[in-house]
Amino acid sequence: MADADTRPIAVIQTQRMGDLLLTYPLLLWLARCHPGRPVTVVAEAGFAGPLAQISPRADYVSLEQARERLGNREHSLVINLGIRPEAARLAGEIPAETRLGPVADAGGIIRVRGDWQLYRASVVHLNRHSRYHWAELNALDVVPAGLIAKTTWPEPRQGGPGRRTVGLFVGASQPGKHPAPAFFADLIRELARRGLTPVLLGGPGETALGDEAARLSGVPVANLCGKLGLKELALLGQEMDLLVSPDTGPMHLAAWTGWRVLNLSIGPVSAHETGPYQPGHFVLRPRLSCRGCWACLRSSVVCRDRLDAARVAYVAARLARGEDTRLGGARIPGFELLRTVMDENGLRRLEPLSLTGQAGPGPDGRELVGAFWRAVFGHIFGLWDAAAPRSAAAALAAGQPALHAALGRGLVRLGGALGRDLRRGRVPDASFAAAFAPGVRPLAGYLERLLQNSDGDRASRLVSLALLERTAALFAG
């Protein structure tokens, strides 16, 4: 049944191709929430045009066209998912009842509107324990949780006996996010040795990478780098059995179109946030304490340098041939293998498949802390009741008691620091959250951003103290 309110909706997404593709679930949910209501997406024409045929229903305009096309019509909702100042200015200029995301006021001051949009802003450089995918963060402020929970996504196409073609996407937006040509050369040889047919893929910017990988491999290999547009790449993927790819736009294109992905999660990325979204895809990453960072702080990109072509080829061959069951409980020394699944709330999570290969002191403490903060923020913003964070805190106490105790002490320290600042009438600066241990930073970062976003007004101070009290209460006793 159509909405009585026929005012249009505008979504602003002026970032890279992958960000636009991660907007598609939001567009799908908006169409289901508001059938028949016009939705306009402000996006880069170079991405929006070639992808229009696989996009959910929406009209697309460029940022340059947007003011003329949208500025004179009342909208019910404007959602800005971009970080560019001009996107925030546009979000403030389009007449609308509700605005979400970064929005500039008449004086040019940018404030973030929406609980989940503010949460996403707060984990910039502090995302070690963030466990919400960006496709969900795009939507949680406006899409009912029940609709997300009822959404089913088709499984990607399965491999099978006799299937053998594996695409290798060689590039990414930053050098640290993709393997070197020498790795792909080794991977080509390893895949060929296992009876698979590798195909090098990449855009115009990856032509040199593809040429170098092909040359170093020393074996005949199809090299299509720079030869396919996005539409052609999506069509070719329908005939291939697997895509091995770093975290990049074409990886999200593959996942959206049902082309199965093995994501090599390396460099300054978090597979929890920007890995393949739909269920049935796979993530392989080196087992390192610094995995899932916002920016690499080491002298070299250690996770990228530790990639092992033989181990990647082993996993890729199993997936291409439909032998997924052989990967459950597999030992892949030095690596973690995870599968994307949807939980009972319809939210995406990563399910571990591989064994660690070594005895450990208990469950993965980092994942227990991540699950705790996921439960806390989900409760704070109304996704579930208080039983979820209580259960997550109990799991942390049982699995990693020393870490549980340290987190409790860290929250006490956070409360002291926040109280001092508030008594002095001081709004925390950008260094506030970074002063705390990583396990405490999710809340410290959110409180820092909340207070900054509201200039430390009375309402934000009261909310900050209440959130801190509610979280600390989970550690009572």
Residue 143 has pLDDT above 90, yes or no: yes
Question: What is residue 460's predicted lDDT score, i.e. its pLDDT?
Answer: 96
- On the CB side of 472, CA atoms within 13 Å amount to 15
* Residue 110: strand pairing partners: 104
Tell me the mean pLDDT in the region 29-53.
93
Tell me the mean pLDDT in the region 405-431.
94
Going by pLDDT thresholds of 50, 70 and 90, the confidence category of residue 476 is: confident
Residue 120 has pLDDT above 90, yes or no: yes
Residue position matching structure tokens 């024409």: 45
Question: What is residue 477's predicted lDDT score, i.e. its pLDDT?
Answer: 56
Find the range with the poorest average confidence among 266-280, 288-302, 379-393. Answer: 288-302
Tell me the mean pLDDT in the region 144-168.
90
Tell me the mean pLDDT in the region 452-468.
95
State the chain's mean pLDDT as an integer. 93
Tell me the mean pLDDT in the region 164-181.
93
Question: What is residue 1's predicted lDDT score, i.e. its pLDDT?
Answer: 45
Tell me the mean pLDDT in the region 251-275.
96
Question: What is residue 354's predicted lDDT score, i.e. its pLDDT?
Answer: 87
284 SS3 class: strand
Residue 359 has pLDDT above 50, yes or no: no
Question: What is residue 3's predicted lDDT score, i.e. its pLDDT?
Answer: 63
Question: What is residue 69's predicted lDDT score, i.e. its pLDDT?
Answer: 92
Residue with more model confidence, 164 or 39: 39
Find the range with the poorest average confidence among 133-147, 249-263, 355-369, 385-399. Answer: 355-369
% of the chain beyond a pLDDT of 70: 97
DSSP string of 318-349, one letter each residue: HHHTT-GGGGTT-B-TTEEEEEEEE-TTS-EE
Candidates 350, 214, 188; CA nearest to 275 is: 350
- On the CB side of 253, CA atoms within 13 Å amount to 26
Contacts of 469 (CB under 8 A, 6+ apart): none
Residue 104 has pLDDT above 90, yes or no: yes
Tell me the mean pLDDT in the region 225-230.
95
Residue 362 has pLDDT above 80, yes or no: no
